[in-house]
Structure 1
Amino acid sequence: MAVVAGVLAFSALTHGAGAATLEEIKKRGYLIVATEDDYKPFEFMEDGKPVGFDNELLAELRKTFPVEIRQEVIPWTGLLAGVATGKYDVAITAAMITKERVKTLDFSVPIADSTHYYAKRKGDDSIKGIKDLAGKTVGVQAGSAQLEKLPELQAMLDKTGGKLGEVKQYTSYPEAYQDLALKRLDFVINTIINLKSLVKDKPDVFEIGEPVSGQTVPAWAVAKGNTELLAVLNEFLLAQKKSGKLGELQAKWLGQAFPDLPDSYTP
């Protein structure tokens, strides 16, 4: 398995190195952007149209980017891999910056603060704090940073002698939330921003618990080494931050602005 994983990682790096450069994108006349189909409030579909925080930023990017922007709305599971292999030029999504992901991807300046919390069913008295998560079934999205961050929760449980229970992986978070409501799960882990959106929509069904990770930040992603394209995206995002537009969109979609976000982040 270790040999296979190494071959896959090398393959991803090789293909990433062949991703279209900014010059090549200009020559062909369009940028290929991938966004997620169901990650509210960052990106989701409403009345057949892509909406949310990142989609509003994308609308602003279209005004200044030197060529046409073509958008593909896809499920999360194929998004980052598609960028790493050069299928898409950039993932305009709230992708958490992690040690594993920086092996094949480069990330823009952070777009929010998305520390991970757990959510449970409203009124479930069997879970009152972190120690009560021991042995219980947790739901996370497949291939997500939340999955990669589970060792941090285990470290918290170690202090009380507890162990993680069964981990169920889902294609999308709405599936996990449905199973939580139906008592097929005991809790779900996601970012505080996404969970606030969930509880706002269904306050009688779900409630938010405590943080289960240290600080985590999301950003846009390009293939490893695609420095010129990344520089243009960073210039755009920093301009949005300076003008106040980024904070305005954060407050609108994420529930609060994050004026003190760093201009770079190392996981």
Structure 2
Amino acid sequence: MTFQTSIRAALFGLAALGLGSAASADQLADIKAAGKIVTATDMHYAPFDMLTNGTYEGMTKDLFDEVSKEIGVEPVYQDIPWTAELPGLEVGKFDIVIAPVTITPERLERYTFTLPIADATVALVRAAANDTLTRPEDIKGKTVGVQQGTAQFKQLEAFGQSLGDVTIKEYGTTDEAYADLAAGRLDAVAGSLPNLTYLVKNRPETFALFDEPKFGEPKYFAWVLRKEEATESFANAIRDAIIKMTEDGRVQAIQEKWLGTYTELPLEVPAE
């Protein structure tokens, strides 16, 4: 290869890189060109994400089906372990994490969040037969399960430290924690109030909420995108879809279907 040929090849390579950058400068345009949104979620987080006889369903799916319709593309749903979702998003393995992610100040610095999709305030559930646990403070001296790597874990950890003598056991999924609670290996499980409300609603013979179930600051769940200029158009399209769905009653209908109640959510991303 001659020197001039090498220069031409190098320039061609740079031009190709430039074209690649231009093509990915607008994520919404790329998504519409592909005709699909590639998502990631953990399908073991009822009532948001569930596999029922091998079929994906839940509140998240119902909401995101409608958002995808508003954008005009098809959703592609992938079952990814929670601990691999945000790292996978950062390296571009999918377009968005639709597992409900609690909005926190630390995460806001690193990711772009959509409008809230549900309440995420942390709460406690116990075995139905154990009526000695009524207030959050009653977990002092007890063993409490929680899903690892979640904001609920961090809130439980801080609350446990303030009480002293609280043993925290981490689980890969909430289903594993619920199974140990039912088997008597845990005294309680901490999680978001919607998740625990759904659990008790469907298995009242096994589980019960504390009389005062919530502790910590009010929090919200949302979906997560990469924090970069290219994602702004995609985030805006999701925002517009959620606002439209809130105004026409679809958000309320989906909440009531899965949670049995409706909670009005902020139409802006909370600062913390």
What corresponds to 2:244 in structure 1?
239
Q: What CA deviation, in whole Å up to 9, does each residue of 1:204-237 have, x standing for no partner?
A: 2111112122211101111112222111111111
Letter in 2 for 1:254: L
Equivalent pairs counted in the alignment come to 245
The separation in 1 between residues aligned to 2:45 and 2:223, in whole angstroms, is 14
Q: 1:147 to 1:260 in 2, by over 3 A?
A: closer
Distance (whole Å) between structure 2 residues aligned to residue 24 and residue 64 of structure 1? 16
Is 1:199 paired with 2:200? yes
Quote the Cα distance in structure 1 between the aligned partners of 2:120 and 2:182: 23
Moved over 6 A (4+): none
1:106 corresponds, among 90, 101, 112, to 112
C-alpha distance 121-248 of structure 1, shift in aligned 2 (>3 A): same
In structure 1, runs of 5+ residues without a counterpart are 1-17
3-state DSSP of counterpart to 1:241: helix
In the alignment, which residue of structure 2 is the partner of 1:15? none
- Aligned equivalent of 2:17: none
Deviation at 1:87, TM superposition (A): 1.2
Distance 1:260 1:24, change over 3 A: closer
Give the Cα separation in 1 of the matches to 2:75 and 2:128: 42
Written as runs of structure 1 = structure 2, the 5 A alignment for 1:209-220 is 209=210, 210-220=213-223
2:243–2:267 contact (8 Å) kept in structure 1? no
Letter of the 2:149 counterpart: G
Counterpart secondary structure, 1:69? strand
TM norm structure 1? 0.84
Going from structure 1 to structure 2, the CA distance change for 1:20 and 1:86 (only over 3 Å counts) comes to: farther
Query: Is the partner of 2:101 in helix, strand or coil?
Result: strand
CA-atom RMSD, angstroms? 2.1
Establish whether residue 61 from structure 1 lines up as the match of residue 67 from structure 2: yes
CA distance in 2, matches of 1:235, 1:85: 26
Other structure's SS at 1:184 match: coil
Amino acid at match of 1:58: F
Rg larger for: 2
Q: Which residue of 2 aligns with 1:88?
A: 94
Q: Distance in 2 between matches of 1:44 and 1:230?
A: 25
Distance in 2 (alpha carbons) for counterparts of 1:19 and 1:117: 41
Please give the alpha-carbon distance, in whole angstroms, between the structure 2 residues aligned to 1:145 and 1:82.
19
Per the alignment, residue 16 of structure 2 pairs with none
Write the distance in 2 (CA, Å) between the matches of 1:69 and 1:239.
19
| Counterpart check, 1:224 vs 2:230 | no
| Structure 2 length-normalised TM | 0.82
| Residue ranges of structure 2 left out of the alignment (5+ in a row) | 1-23
Deviation at 1:28, TM superposition (A): 4.3
Q: Distance in 2 between matches of 1:192 and 1:37?
A: 18
Partner of 2:142: 136
Q: Percent identity between the aligned chains?
A: 32
